Amino acid sequence: MQTSRLGRTPKHARSTSGALTLLSAIRMKIRVDSVEYKCWHEVGHATVCLHLGGDVDFIEFLDGDARGHARARCVVTSEIERSVACGGFAAEFYLLDKGYAEQGRDDERNISQIVFHNATDDREDFWGRKLGRDEAFPKAEDEEFMRHAIGSVVPIFDQYFLRMQELVRELFDARRVEGRRVKELLRLGIPR
C-alpha cells in the first residue's frame, strides 16, 4: 500500500477527510459553526466515556435533522455520567483554548453563549433535569458545570488528541461510526 504525506493512502488524500488533513496542516482552525466542530463535540463525549471505563455504542449525525445535530450513544455508570455529560463542552473549550477553533469573521455572537447553547442537553444530563421552554440554568450551576468540565474533563484530551482527530475525520466522512470502530481509533476499551 502506497502512503501519502498528507493522507493515510492516496485514496484518503483525495477523500473529504484527506482534504481535512491537508487543511489542518495549513490552518487547523475549525469554525464553530461547522460540521467538523459538531464532530469534535460528540467525539469529546465518546473519548471521556471510554477513558473513564464506559462504553460507546455509536456516534452519528441524526438523519433528516435540518440543524445537523449529532449524538454519541454512551453507556455510562452513575460514577462517570456527569463527566461524560461534560465531554462535548470540554472538547469545544479545548479547541478554543488551544487556538484550534474560531468564530467566522462575521459571527458577532458571544463565544461563551455559543458553547453553553451547544451544551444545553449536556447540562440537563449533568444536572439530571430538563429545562422548561423559557427556563435557564442559574449562573452558579453553569459555573459548576464549567469548572467540572475544565478541571476534570479537559485534561483527558491531551492524551488522545491525535486519535480524536482521526475519529473526527471518520465521523465527518461516514456520518456514523460504530462503537467498535470508535474504540479502535481511540485505542480505548475492548471492541465488541
pTM of the model: 0.84
All residue ranges of the chain with pLDDT < 50 are: 1-14, 22-23, 26, 192
Q: Which residue has the cell 465521523?
A: 171
| Among the listed residues 64, 89, 91, 54, the one whose alpha carbon sits nearest the alpha carbon of residue 167 | 91
Sign of CA dihedral 168, 172, 176, 178: negative
What is the per-residue pLDDT for 28? 60
pLDDT digits (tens, 9 = 90+) for 31-73: 999 999 999 999 999 999 999 999 999 999 988 776 778 999 9
What is the per-residue pLDDT for 189? 75
| Among the listed residues 97, 104, 75, the one whose alpha carbon sits nearest the alpha carbon of residue 150 | 97
